[in-house]
């Protein structure tokens, strides 16, 4: 394998590992703030117990996100120097604003949020929780601005092969940014909803019957049930936006080779990129035309439109897009089914958690990681769908790669993969261990009313 | 070429900002990396207190590295590529080190007790890998980013010295943040580490002027040699002062416990100032100046305005965090 493909795999592995953790921390920060505020309002101990349990998972996820994020900021330089050389004038300020307005905020206040409860007044601890949640969201905002700009670049001009910003408003609010940002923030919300529901279901199945586990199981299910229809709508809008700006990507997602009307929605197929056709097609007639053009004979672009005169393929690879898109959508529908079923059973005869049938609880446990699966599949769809461009229409991936010897990249790639695999294993193991401990009733070490105590201590100083 | 021209003053301002970020990083993450390097010399209970002394800070400390590399990336994109591709392997070692130690903070506290030893090892090994690779990169950078057996040998030397220097500032941090037997141990560690600092400063100071005629001329011509005299003289005085202070610490009422740390910070600042003076105006040694590598002035201006607004806030809440967690380190608790 050559340096280009190895560098791509390395960055892909790195960013895949990284995104798992921000996907959790972005929404979990707000959920923790919700727990804290619910406790402040009601004084019910279950909310503080929920806070204490989930803040541990937050801290662990945050640490994993930080260290894998630092790695990426260096890989821009070690593996992709052409990226900053060509579009550094645009990407630079966006990344700088992420560091300045997000990274320091979250890093500094995380310390107070985690370890400061007994050292600062209750309001400052709540404020620190808010600022950490706000910081993670700001970070998501800036990085999605940059990522969206790489898909739908706007507000710039090229002079001597280098991009210069002409309109910062157009750069930031580039055509795909609002859709992508909404889609990702909702994805984070769903990931956390199902993580909380899944872990709580596991604790319930292990026999825990605390007020805390009831509260979090309900929170997770209701949150998931509320967010998933919005996500399906936002995802559809995002798809229509992609159709407008990156039609080749949508053609690959649909597995549609010829531009035509009455395109079926393929539930399954094996796209054959050599023969340029699908095998074993199973589809809903007119489905893709209906979704993308909102009428049965709507014309959907085909992949064959993106082949140059000399036969050079100018569209992204079809197989990975076709399947990763379907995995994402299927996971989304599983989320819809399970969360709505959960809410239905809880509402029926007002039985609450007791109303949840056992099979549903068992099904929720593996769904704890469904958000990860859908998020990764979605990102693979959109990012592989950008190929062969790094910045759509401006800079190819090949032009940006560093001239590092292939064996050296292979060496670091293997090292990263080993470390990531071990950490992922350890991470899931610790969540499992903490859940087990909580289910056995060992978790809330000390039951101290947090805010009043902290205030008393400050007053005493 | 006038100083009112943004194409001139903006690159200078960003070079100064980057320099400040690197210095702050080296001091802040220097002490917490150093605490990690010293880990095997402490017993189990002391290790917990050592982690407690840096637990609330390490994440924010590392953010200064992200800021420094971020400024290099955004303000001097061509230099960023040139430097980081030349340092490909040490950067990878550093990153894996940062990963291993960063996650260990959380895992050693949350994983099953039987695994704690493994995460302690991960914390120590990661800290050591990070320190050594940063020192190695410093050495290669001084040698003009050229990889020959001679420059690699020098880089290996700086790798060891920087690691000892980090242990030294880490030990001075522990003198400030701990008490009892651990504090006494930290004083001994600092006494041992200071000799590494002296040798490291000496090696870098001797080598740098010989790498380039330009740097030689910048130091050893008149009147520069007189104007610059405070740098080496100040360093010598600081080292002597530190030695005297360390011999008297810890005091009975724990007074002056912060003195060695402040001295170490001043020493790091002087050493860094000397290096910055030597290399200015080059960002890639003897190849690319900050003015040649700089991004478009309009892009720099956008960042500059944001920095003016946000940086004071960052400094403000960083001070807040250090104030909240002032005093001797106690066991870290979420309560």
Q: Which tens digits make up the pLDDT trace of A390-401?
A: 998 889 898 888
Q: CB–CB of A264/A198 below 8 Å?
A: no
The reported pLDDT for the residue numbered B335 is 61
A117 vs B89: CB contact, 8 Å cut-off?
A: no
Q: CB–CB of A265/A310 below 8 Å?
A: no
Least-confidence region, from A178-187, A270-279, B259-268: A270-279
Q: CB–CB of A156/A165 below 8 Å?
A: yes
How far, rounded to the nearest angstrom, does the alpha carbon of residue A424 sit from its chain's CA centroid?
16
Residue B268, in any domain of the structure: yes
Residue B4, in any domain of the structure: no
B99 vs A67: CB contact, 8 Å cut-off?
A: yes
- Please tell me the distance in Å from B276's CA to the nearest CA on chain A: 22
A104 vs B314: CB contact, 8 Å cut-off?
A: yes
Give the pLDDT confidence of A75-116 residue by residue, as tens digits. Answer: 888 888 888 888 888 888 898 888 888 888 888 888 888 888
Among A100, A107, A168, the residue with its CB nearest the CB of B310 is A100
Q: List the one residue out of A324, A179, A318, A328 whose CA is nearest residue A251.
A: A318
Average pLDDT over residues A199-219: 92
How far, rounded to the nearest angstrom, does the alpha carbon of residue A43 sit from its chain's CA centroid?
33
Confidence tier at A24 by pLDDT (50, 70, 90)? very high
Confidence tier at A454 by pLDDT (50, 70, 90)? very low
Residue B332, in any domain of the structure: no
Give the chain B residue whose CA is nearest to the CA of A443. B110
Q: Which phi-psi region, left, alpha or beta, contains residue B155 (left: φ > 0; alpha: ψ -120 to 50)?
A: alpha
Q: List the one residue out of A379, A396, A378 whose CA is nearest residue A387.
A: A396
Give the pLDDT confidence of B252-294 residue by residue, as tens digits. Answer: 888 888 888 999 999 889 888 888 888 888 888 888 888 888 8
Interface subset of A 401-440, CB within 8 angstroms of B: 402-404, 408, 412, 415-416, 419, 423, 426, 429-430, 433-434
- Cβ neighbours around A333 below 10 Å, total: 11
Residue B213, in any domain of the structure: yes
The reported pLDDT for the residue numbered A322 is 92
Give the pLDDT confidence of B84-109 residue by residue, as tens digits. Answer: 888 888 999 999 999 999 889 888 88
Question: How many Å apart are CA A150 and CA A80, to the nearest integer?
Answer: 14
- Please tell me the distance in Å from A48's CA to the nearest CA on chain B: 10
pLDDT, tens digit only, all 335 positions of chain B: 566 787 788 888 889 999 999 999 999 999 999 999 999 998 888 888 898 888 888 888 888 888 888 888 888 888 888 888 888 889 999 999 999 998 898 888 888 888 888 999 999 999 999 999 999 999 898 888 888 998 899 899 989 999 999 999 999 999 988 888 889 999 999 998 898 888 888 888 888 888 888 888 888 888 888 888 888 888 899 999 999 988 888 888 888 888 889 999 998 898 888 888 888 888 888 888 888 888 888 888 888 888 888 888 888 888 888 888 888 887 777 76
B78 vs A85: CB contact, 8 Å cut-off?
A: yes
Give the chain A residue whose CA is nearest to the CA of B70. A96
B81 vs A82: CB contact, 8 Å cut-off?
A: yes
* Complex ipTM more than 0.90, yes or no: no
The domain locations on chain A are 3-252+321-460
A70 vs B89: CB contact, 8 Å cut-off?
A: no
Backbone angles phi, psi at A298, to 5 degrees: -60, 140
pLDDT for residue A418 is more than 70: yes
The reported pLDDT for the residue numbered B3 is 67
Q: List the one residue out of B138, B58, B63 whose CA is nearest residue A70.
A: B63
- Please tell me the distance in Å from B319's CA to the nearest CA on chain A: 10
Which residues have a Cβ under 8 Å from the Cβ of A282 and sit 6 or more positions away? Answer: A266, A267, A268, A269
Half-sphere CA count of A405, side-chain side, radius 13 A: 6
Give the pLDDT confidence of A424-441 residue by residue, as tens digits. Answer: 999 999 999 999 988 887
* B272 CB burial (10 A radius; 0-12, 13-18, 19+): middle
For residue B306, what are the domain limits?
Answer: 9-324
A283: helix, coil or strand?
Answer: strand
The domain tally of chain B equals 1
Confidence tier at A455 by pLDDT (50, 70, 90)? very low
Task: From chain B, pick out residues whose CB is under 8 angstroms from the CB of A62.
Answer: 59
Task: From chain B, pick out residues whose CB is under 8 angstroms from the CB of A90.
Answer: 299
The reported pLDDT for the residue numbered A35 is 94
Give the pLDDT confidence of A291-327 residue by residue, as tens digits. Answer: 888 888 888 888 888 888 887 888 889 999 999 999 9
Give the chain A residue whose CA is nearest to the CA of B299. A89
């Amino acid at each position: 394998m050559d340096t280009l493909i190895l560098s791509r795999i390395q960055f892909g592995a790195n960013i895949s590992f990284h995104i798992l953790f921000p996907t959790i921390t972005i929404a979990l920060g707000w959920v923790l703030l919700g727990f804290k505020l619910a406790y402040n309002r009601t004084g019910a101990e279950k909310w503080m117990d929920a806070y204490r349990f989930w803040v541990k998972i937050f801290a662990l996820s945050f640490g994993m996100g930080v260290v894998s994020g630092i790695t990426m900021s260096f890989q821009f330089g070690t593996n992709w120097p052409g990226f900053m050389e060509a579009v550094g004038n645009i990407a630079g300020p966006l990344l700088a604003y992420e560091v300045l307005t997000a990274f320091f905020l979250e890093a500094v206040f995380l310390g107070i949020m985690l370890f400061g409860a007994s050292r600062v007044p209750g309001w400052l601890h709540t404020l620190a929780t808010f600022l950490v949640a706000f910081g993670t969201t700001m970070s998501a905002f800036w990085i999605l601005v940059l990522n969206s700009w790489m898909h739908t670049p706007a507000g710039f001009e090229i002079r001597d092969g280098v991009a210069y910003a002409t309109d910062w408003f157009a750069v930031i609010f580039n055509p795909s940014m609002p859709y992508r940002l909404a889609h990702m923030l909702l994805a984070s919300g769903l990931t956390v909803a199902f993580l909380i529901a899944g872990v709580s279901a596991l604790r319930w199945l292990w026999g825990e019957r605390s007020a805390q586990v009831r509260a979090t199981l309900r929170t997770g299910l209701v949150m998931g049930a509320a967010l998933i229809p919005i996500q399906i709508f936002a995802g559809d809008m995002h798809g229509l936006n992609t159709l407008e700006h990156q039609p080749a990507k949508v053609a690959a997602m649909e597995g549609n080779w010829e531009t035509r009307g009455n395109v079926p929605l393929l539930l399954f197929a094996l796209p054959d990129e050599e023969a340029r056709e699908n095998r074993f097609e199973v589809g809903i007639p007119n489905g893709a035309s209906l979704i993308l053009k909102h009428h049965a004979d709507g014309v959907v672009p085909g992949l064959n439109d993106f082949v140059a005169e000399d036969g050079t393929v100018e569209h992204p690879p079809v197989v990975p897009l076709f399947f990763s898109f379907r995995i994402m959508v299927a996971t989304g529908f599983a989320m819809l089914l399970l969360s709505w079923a959960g809410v239905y059973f809880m509402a029926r005869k007002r039985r609450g958690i007791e109303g949840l049938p056992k099979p549903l609880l068992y099904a929720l446990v593996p769904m704890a990681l469904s958000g990860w699966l859908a998020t990764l599949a979605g990102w693979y769809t959109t990012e592989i769908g950008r190929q062969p461009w790094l910045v759509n229409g401006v800079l190819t991936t090949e032009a940006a790669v560093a001239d590092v010897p292939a064996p050296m990249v292979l060496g670091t790639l293997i090292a990263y993969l080993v470390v990531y695999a071990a950490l992922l294993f350890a991470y899931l193991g610790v969540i499992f261990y903490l859940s087990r401990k909580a289910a056995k009733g060992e978790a809330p070490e000390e039951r101290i009313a947090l805010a009043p105590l902290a205030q008393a201590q400050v007053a005493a100083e | 070429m006038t100083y009112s021209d943004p194409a001139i003053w903006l690159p200078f301002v960003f070079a100064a900002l980057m320099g400040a970020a690197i210095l702050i990083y080296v001091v802040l993450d220097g002490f917490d990396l150093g605490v990690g390097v010293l880990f095997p010399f402490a017993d189990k209970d002391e290790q917990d207190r050592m982690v407690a002394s840096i637990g609330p800070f390490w994440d924010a400390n590392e953010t200064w590295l992200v800021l420094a590399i971020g400024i290099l990336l955004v303000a001097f994109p061509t230099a960023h590529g040139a430097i980081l591709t030349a340092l490909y392997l040490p950067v990878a070692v550093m990153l894996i080190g940062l990963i291993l130690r960063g996650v260990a903070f959380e895992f050693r506290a949350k994983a099953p007790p039987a695994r704690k030893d493994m995460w302690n090892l991960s914390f120590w090994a990661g800290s050591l890998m990070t320190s050594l690779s940063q020192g190695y990169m410093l050495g290669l950078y001084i040698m003009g980013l050229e990889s020959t057996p001679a420059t690699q040998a020098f880089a290996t030397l700086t790798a060891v010295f920087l690691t000892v220097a980090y242990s030294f500032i880490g030990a001075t941090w522990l003198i400030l943040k701990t008490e009892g037997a651990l504090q006494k141990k930290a004083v001994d560690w600092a006494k041992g580490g200071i000799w590494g600092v002296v040798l490291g400063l000496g090696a870098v100071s001797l080598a740098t002027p010989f790498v380039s005629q330009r740097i030689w001329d910048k130091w050893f011509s008149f009147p520069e040699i007189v104007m610059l005299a405070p740098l080496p003289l100040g360093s010598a005085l600081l080292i002597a002062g530190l030695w005297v202070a360390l011999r008297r610490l810890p005091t009975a009422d724990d007074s002056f416990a912060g003195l060695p740390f402040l001295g170490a910070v001043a020493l790091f600042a002087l050493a860094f100032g000397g290096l910055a003076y030597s290399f200015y105006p080059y960002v890639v040694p003897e190849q690319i100046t900050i003015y040649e590598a700089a991004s478009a002035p309009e892009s720099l201006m956008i960042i500059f305005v944001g920095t003016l607004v946000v940086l004071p806030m960052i400094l403000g809440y960083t001070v807040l965090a250090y104030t909240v967690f002032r005093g001797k380190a106690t066991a870290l608790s979420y309560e």
